[in-house]
Amino acid sequence: MRYIDFVDLKYRPSVDDVICEFQIEEAAGISLKEAAGGIAAESSIGTWTQVTTEKSYVKELGAKVFEIDGKRVKIAYPIRLFELGNLPNLLSSVAGNVYGLKELKHLRLEDIQIPSSLAKSFRGPRFGIEGVRKLVKVYGRPLLGAIIKPKLGLKAADHANVAYESWVGGCDIVKDDENLSSQDFNRFETRVSETLEKRDKAQEEVGEKKVYLPNVSAETEDMLRRAEYVKDLGGESVMIDVITCGASALQSLRNRDLGLVIHAHRAGHGALTRVENHGIAMKVIARLVRMVGVDQLHIGTAVGKMSESQDEVLENIKVLKEPFHGLKPVMPVASGGLHPILVPDLIKIFDKDFIIQAGGGIHGHPDGTIAGATAMRQAIDATLHGISLIDYANDHVELKKAMSIWMTR
Amino acid sequence: MRYIDFVDLKYRPSVDDVICEFQIEEAAGISLKEAAGGIAAESSIGTWTQVTTEKSYVKELGAKVFEIDGKRVKIAYPIRLFELGNLPNLLSSVAGNVYGLKELKHLRLEDIQIPSSLAKSFRGPRFGIEGVRKLVKVYGRPLLGAIIKPKLGLKAADHANVAYESWVGGCDIVKDDENLSSQDFNRFETRVSETLEKRDKAQEEVGEKKVYLPNVSAETEDMLRRAEYVKDLGGESVMIDVITCGASALQSLRNRDLGLVIHAHRAGHGALTRVENHGIAMKVIARLVRMVGVDQLHIGTAVGKMSESQDEVLENIKVLKEPFHGLKPVMPVASGGLHPILVPDLIKIFDKDFIIQAGGGIHGHPDGTIAGATAMRQAIDATLHGISLIDYANDHVELKKAMSIWMTR
């Protein structure tokens, strides 16, 4: 079969097909149809030349280009092309060699539709939005999280103290930075043990449930050992860098099913998602990690230090929350360059079911971390009560000070 | 510290620094220095604003922009920023959040220099080029590998037969496709068992060592179980899709140290590597997976169906073979759209220490797989003897037929 034979614009996908939507830029001298057919071929049963080894029973496994709309192309893949419950396999197929084909100049996987049988072969979120809310016993407002700063360098004891102050100031959650794992200045076990002690202290003093998210990102067996250590010490959540650890390890963490909330950081996604006409759209990553079963996922801020547009962020939120073969919705995380002044816009974009995470926007407060966390909570409270931050700041000094230093940003 | 404070053009890197070379495109209204400083900050101890929680002892961990040459920027990272032996951690740091910074429009990690202490905290290749040659007992010529085609769809028994014919025809190696794992039409265990039986048969008949590379790509624990199964059945090698499985699982496979040759397929790399001004250069991936310890790595063809230029391929080869803190050299794999006519150019580019892999270029031979493999071996023999393929084809009918159908490509 030639590449062009994988184009069938009359084909109507079956409910069991995986459907991918690509944006294509074909190479010079190549027709869009041939380039699109190349993708379908390379991800199913074809290659660049006819082969003598093809059996008649193989043909029904061919993927089909069934829609071409400008540079947008839809391809249907028979479910039998994939191993159920194997995310690396799915990726190697629909997001693998195709990026290297010389018939293409650029290729972006814009969206993916997963049939029920494939979705159900993964675990999906164990907690999801409801489970996370039940754990922290907070309803009706966004959760507030602090990221310990400086990102790297704090000794475990100082790290634990910053966490303590974040909780006492009003944060529900404290998380490690995405590149803090177990460096010599701050060993994983010491940090987790000391920070969970401070969590208990903060919980007792404040009378609210507090959550710590230690970063377990590492080689898979180290990662699983670390997650079990967290569990043993009474932790309820862990964080994993899903892109840099990879699909196999993410599945391993979910499949071990330790009863821990899984918080997914997406460090490195921008290498894949940021160029408009190449790579993989963030919403595809969001859908796939929801399928595997994370409970919380970073999806951009629309405001703050990251680059995504509001439309992209809204699409990501939709993918995390919309019905998906009975899998629980995932809690979106807004993180990156956030501070109190951005809170009203964030709540407008994200609504209430999300986590507002701040690092610099809390620990950068002139009066320190406690005041910084308090200012963030005040900004949330003001917004939920329909009061402008400027008015609310009149009798909330922490918010007032925060606004004075970040007003110009 | 502001982003700009992470620029120190007078700094001279220490032997223990990790050094990254980036190509930057700064966002509108941002100076290149500020954008570069943002990368150094975000990968070490800084963030977008000053924080009150920084301790004096933290400062020495700051990364430093020490060279700016046009859009090329070099950054030095103190080794203590990283956890030894943790590749996800290294990636989350130097190739993580930085891709999302709004101070940047595009960012490409062009090269990375790893200090000895970090390199030695990973295992490196167990076999490397010498070990692979010792296993197959072939010296002085490139190894020849076949990829079973069609990529997907063959039942295990037919798959094993195609493998058998490839070996009998002259291939040293037979590998699975990158997206064949354990689909219902061809279960992993059945395939491995039947194909290894055929390997034994071929070995006996031909009197040469033959190698099978089953694709173990899956969730980490499934992957390790599959690798152990291969080992138990007398296999000596496995293949892993390093990008789609991810860094954590790759380390797990190497660290389990089963004594199996690790063949690294790079399906999906193009999403990261292909855009000139964004993502990660293939040679960075090559260096990192060599450090973890693969024995063979796909690095492009310069000719064939993949898109990389000859210069890029030569750089990748260099990274796999050059001295690297005592780690063994990795055998380069040329794979994708290859057929006999391309062999002389391949050997010119790759020299002798590499694997020529062909799928369509073997099974697409008009007389079938045995003739196709024979034609490839003839092309290798002709080239090594300094005879032109056209002359050699005069009394080598398999080569002659192969040339007649692929001459126009």
How confident is the model over B282-308, as a mean pLDDT?
A: 91
Whether A10 shows a pLDDT value over 70: the answer reads yes
The 10s digit of each residue's pLDDT in A73-107 is 999 999 999 999 999 999 999 999 999 998 999 99
Tell if the CB–CB gap between A218 and B248 is shorter than 8 Å. yes
Whether B306 shows a pLDDT value over 70: the answer reads no
- pLDDT band (50, 70, 90) for residue A49: confident
Q: Does A131 touch chain B (CB under 8 A)?
A: no
| Residues 223 through 242 of chain B touching chain A, CB cutoff 8 Å | 223, 241
- pLDDT band (50, 70, 90) for residue A305: low
The 10s digit of each residue's pLDDT in A136-163 is 999 999 999 999 999 999 999 999 999 9
Q: Is B363 a catalytic residue?
A: no
Residue A263: give its domain's CATH number. 3.20.20.110
Q: Which residue of A has its CA nearest to B98?
A: A268
> Residues A73, A136: one domain?
no
> Residues B275, B341: one domain?
yes
> Residues B113, B150: one domain?
no
> Residues B25, B141: one domain?
no
In the listed set A119, A145, A174, which residue is the last one of a domain according to the structure?
Answer: A119
Q: Does A93 touch chain B (CB under 8 A)?
A: yes
> Residues B82, B216: one domain?
no
The complex's ipTM works out to: 0.97
> Residues A372, A325: one domain?
yes
In the listed set A119, A147, A182, which residue is the last one of a domain according to the structure?
Answer: A119
CA distance A52 to chain B (A): 6
Average pLDDT, chain A: 96
| Residue ranges making up the domain that contains B9 | 3-119
- pLDDT band (50, 70, 90) for residue A409: low
The 10s digit of each residue's pLDDT in A179-218 is 999 999 999 999 999 999 999 999 999 999 999 999 999 9
CA distance A221 to chain B (A): 7
Tell if the CB–CB gap between B88 and A241 is shorter than 8 Å. yes
Q: Does B363 touch chain A (CB under 8 A)?
A: yes
Q: In B, which residues are within 8 Å of A104 by CB distance? A: 307
How confident is the model over B147-155, as a mean pLDDT?
A: 95
CA distance B139 to chain A (A): 30
Q: In A, which residues are within 8 Å of B98 by CB distance? A: 270
- pLDDT band (50, 70, 90) for residue A306: low
CA distance B27 to chain A (A): 10
The 10s digit of each residue's pLDDT in B44-61 is 998 888 889 999 999 999
- pLDDT band (50, 70, 90) for residue B184: very high
Residue A113: give its domain's CATH number. 3.30.70.150
In the listed set A77, A96, A119, which residue is the last one of a domain according to the structure?
Answer: A119
- pLDDT band (50, 70, 90) for residue B302: confident
> Residues A29, A163: one domain?
no
Tell if the CB–CB gap between B271 and A272 is shorter than 8 Å. yes
> Residues B169, B272: one domain?
yes
> Residues B271, B203: one domain?
yes
> Residues B268, B219: one domain?
yes
Number of domains in chain B: 2
Whether B305 shows a pLDDT value over 80: the answer reads no
Q: Is A159 a catalytic residue?
A: no
Q: Which residue of A has its CA nearest to B79?
A: A183
- pLDDT band (50, 70, 90) for residue B344: very high
> Residues A302, A236: one domain?
yes
Q: Taking Cα atoms as reference points, which of B219, B337, B338, B241 lies closest to residue B297? A: B241
Q: Does B272 touch chain A (CB under 8 A)?
A: yes
How confident is the model over A40-51, as a mean pLDDT?
A: 89
Q: Does A340 touch chain B (CB under 8 A)?
A: no
> Residues B112, B177: one domain?
no
